Amino acid sequence: MISSKEMENMGKAIAEIGENKTCMTEPVIKGAKEALKKNGYDGAEAYAAQLAGTDDYTELLRVLLISKKYNLGSEAAMKVLDNLTKIESGKW
């Protein structure tokens, strides 16, 4: 369960991620979420490293680093990944 402090920090992370168009495909988002669920940020970053040299890598790493910066747990980071299209549209 996501705490109220974590929800507040999610808002800050989302503001920093911004409404820019992300370059992540659905399979990459799904893979990142699975890695987060199984192995936390270390697993998600290892998954991202497999995509090195792609736009997916750059954007996924940016979202993960911002999520870590605001001390979001894996569950909150997965929620951010789930809602990237809403964030982009400004409807979050």
pTM of the model: 0.85
Instruction: Look at residue 9 and tell me whether its pLDDT is greater than 70.
Output: yes
Q: What is the mean pLDDT of residues 24-49?
A: 93
Domain boundary assignment for the chain:
4-12+26-83
Confidence of residue 8 (pLDDT cuts 50, 70, 90): very high
- Burial 54-83, CB ≥16 within 10 A → b, else e: eebbbbbbbbbebbeebebbbebbbbbbee
What does the pLDDT look like over 43-90, one tens digit per residue? 999 999 998 888 888 899 999 999 999 999 999 999 999 887 665 545
